[in-house]
Amino acid sequence: MADFFALLIELLKLCLPALVLVGGLYYLLQKHYEREDRLCAEQAQQKDRKGGETITSIRLQAYERIVLLLERITPSNLLLRVSPAGQTAAEYHRLLLSEIRNEFNHNMSQQVYMSEQAWQQVNHAREDVVTLINKTYQELPENARGTDLAKRVLETVLVNEQDPTARAINFVKQEVRETF
| pLDDT of the residue at 170 | 96
pLDDT in tens, 53-112: 778 889 999 999 999 999 999 999 999 999 999 999 999 999 999 999 999 999 999 999
| pLDDT the model gives residue 5 | 79
Query: Half-sphere exposure (CA, 13 Å, Cβ side) for 24?
Result: 6
- This prediction has a pTM of 0.73
Q: How many CA atoms lie within 13 A of 108 on its CB side?
A: 6
What stretches of the chain show up as alpha helix (H) in DSSP?
2-73, 75-81, 89-107, 116-139, 146-160, 166-179
For the segment 33-45, what is each residue's pLDDT rounded down to a tens digit?
899 888 887 877 7
Q: How far apart are CA 44 and CA 56, in angstroms?
A: 18
